[in-house]
């Protein structure tokens, strides 16, 4: 499934967001993706190509074609 | 009061936050349990359902989060989850779980030891989930584990403590708190663990899937308190034969003569 998560103009690119292919506007930042999903920045963690991006760096993290982005959050859990 | 890594807890019942019907039931149940320490897991944001129910449902001032590394199959994955947990605002406490086999969900002792060493070096407060291995428990304490969490029985099995002999050795040797984790299916099982001298128990399934989770949470809270009090009071030694509790002295032989 390929869907757009961030509105914008101009050339689009494909990223792998939480394992799913997503079309996003070229030059999107991590922050724009997070805002487009309606996520609360304070309660998630993000990785780009396997490296954690600090919360205060979201706006400056420009995504690129094929980048693997992981957005992680806490869920209910006891063990395993 | 229970102290782990300098932090004190009044309640010795830790509660997992999985398997609840709803966030509202979870919150009410945790309040009924009196628990201060609650475990949480880390997962991908569901892109089609991005609401973060647990962070909205739980007051972090009231409930201390113990994020786990559930899903990790080796030390590297546990490290990755730990760093993500810290980045997500989960703090630096961690229930270290490394479970390579999804069928048994038993912890890998070698990878757990390696992960504990690396996590302690990165400043994490590590509470490793382990099998009932007294030698491993000591080795993890040598590596700086803040507590050890031996399982009672396989996770979700509700079987209660399967190896009380080895668990007793872990408790007897421990220099850090011992939290009995996984497989506790009833308040009596929790009480039995506390009577042995465990410092705390972690319960999730038995509370979350109960017909009345609030009532079950309260039952576990009472059981943990009762078991702890019994341990502190000092339990009597077990005997193989009968030991009269009524006095046997002062009985005149003549009183029994009517039987002759």
| Three state DSSP letters for chain B | CEEECCEEECCCEEEECCCCCCHHHHHHHHHHHCCCEEEEEEEECCCCCCCCHHHHHCCCCCCEEEEECCCCCCHHHHHHHHHHHHHCCCCCEEEECCCCCCCCCCCCHHHHHHHHHHHHHCCCEEEEEECCCHHHHHHHHHCCCCCEEEECCCCCCCCCCCCHHHHHHHHHHCCCCEEEECCCCCHHHHHHHHHCCCCEEEECHHHHCCCCHHHHHHHHHHHHHHHHHHHHHCCCCCCCCCCCCCCCCCCCHHHHHHHC
Chain B residue closest in CA terms to A53: B87
* Chain B residues lying within 8 Å of A61, measured CB to CB: none
> How far is the CA of B134 from the CAs of A1, B110, B145, B190, in angstroms?
50, 14, 14, 20
Q: Is A56 in CB contact (< 8 Å) with chain B?
A: no
Q: Is B210 in CB contact (< 8 Å) with chain A?
A: no
Chain B residue closest in CA terms to A72: B44
CB spacing of B54 vs A76 below 8 angstroms: yes
Alpha carbons within 13 angstroms on the beta-carbon side of residue B24 total 0
Q: What is the pLDDT of residue B147?
A: 98
Question: Which element (helix H / strand E) includes A35?
Answer: helix A30-36
Contact between residue B26 and residue B20 where contact means Cβ atoms under 8 Å apart: yes
Exposure b/e, A28-64, CB count within 10 A at least 16 = b:
bbbbbbbebbebeeebbbbbbeeebbebeebeebebe
CA distance B156 to B46: 25
CA distance B98 to B111: 7
B12, B95, B139, B228: the active-site residue: B95
Contact between residue B193 and residue B220 where contact means Cβ atoms under 8 Å apart: no
Distance from CA of B197 to the nearest CA of A (A): 22
Q: Calculate what percentage of chain A has a pLDDT beyond 90.
A: 52
Confidence of residue A5 (pLDDT cuts 50, 70, 90): low
Q: What is the pLDDT of residue B59?
A: 84
A vs B: CB pairs below 8 A: 122
Given a cut of 50, whether residue A32 has pLDDT beyond it is yes
- Please state the pTM of the whole predicted model: 0.87
CB spacing of A39 vs B54 below 8 angstroms: no
Q: Nearest Cβ partner of A79 from B55, B83, B182? A: B182
* Span A30-39, average pLDDT: 89
B19 is a catalytic site residue = no
* Chain B residues lying within 8 Å of A73, measured CB to CB: 42-45, 52, 55, 88
Contact between residue B183 and residue B155 where contact means Cβ atoms under 8 Å apart: yes
Give the pLDDT of chain B (260 residues) as one tens digit per residue. 999 999 999 999 999 998 888 888 999 999 999 999 999 999 998 888 766 667 777 888 899 999 999 999 999 999 999 999 999 888 999 999 999 999 999 999 999 999 999 999 999 999 999 999 999 999 999 999 999 999 999 998 999 999 999 999 999 999 999 999 999 999 999 999 999 999 999 999 999 999 999 999 999 999 999 999 999 999 999 888 888 888 777 766 666 666 76
CB spacing of A43 vs B17 below 8 angstroms: no
Query: How does strand A51-53 pair with strand A44-48?
Result: antiparallel
Cβ neighbours of B199 (radius 10 Å):
22
Chain B residue closest in CA terms to A22: B47
User: Quick one: which of A71, A37, A79, A19 has its CA closest to B49?
Assistant: A37
CA distance B184 to B155: 8
Given a cut of 50, whether residue A1 has pLDDT beyond it is no
């Amino acid at each position: 499934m390929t869907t757009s998560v961030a509105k914008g103009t101009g050339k689009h690119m494909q990223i792998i967001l939480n394992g799913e292919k997503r079309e996003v506007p070229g030059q999107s930042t991590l922050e724009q993706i997070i805002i487009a999903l309606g996520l609360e920045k304070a309660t998630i963690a993000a990785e780009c190509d396997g490296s954690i991006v600090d919360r205060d760096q979201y706006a400056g993290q420009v995504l690129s074609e094929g980048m693997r982005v992981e957005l992680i959050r806490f869920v209910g859990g006891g063990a395993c | 009061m229970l102290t782990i890594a300098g932090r004190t807890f009044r309640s010795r019942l830790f509660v997992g936050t999985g398997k609840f019907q709803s966030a509202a039931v979870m919150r009410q149940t945790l309040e009924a349990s009196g628990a201060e320490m609650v475990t949480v897991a880390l997962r991908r944001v569901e892109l089609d359902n991005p609401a973060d129910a647990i962070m909205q449902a739980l007051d972090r001032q009231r409930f201390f989060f113990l994020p786990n590394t559930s899903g990790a199959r080796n030390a590297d994955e546990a490290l990755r989850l730990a760093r993500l947990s810290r980045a997500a605002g989960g703090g630096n406490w961690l229930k270290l779980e490394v479970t390579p086999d999804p069928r048994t969900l038993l912890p890998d002792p070698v990878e757990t030891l390696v992960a504990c060493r690396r996590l302690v070096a990165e400043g994490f407060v590590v509470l490793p989930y382990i099998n009932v291995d007294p030698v491993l428990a000591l080795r993890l304490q040598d590596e700086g584990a803040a507590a050890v969490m031996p399982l009672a029985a396989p996770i979700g099995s509700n079987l209660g403590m399967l190896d009380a002999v080895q668990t007793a050795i872990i408790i007897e040797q421990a220099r850090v708190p011992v939290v009995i984790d996984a497989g506790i299916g009833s308040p009596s099982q929790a009480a039995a663990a506390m009577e042995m001298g465990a410092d705390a128990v972690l319960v999730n399934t038995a509370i979350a899937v109960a017909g009345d989770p609030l009532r079950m949470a309260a039952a576990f809270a009472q059981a943990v308190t009762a078991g702890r009090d019994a341990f502190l009071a000092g339990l009597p030694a077990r005997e193989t034969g009968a030991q009269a509790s009524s006095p046997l002295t002062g009985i005149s032989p003549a009183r029994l003569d009517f039987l002759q």
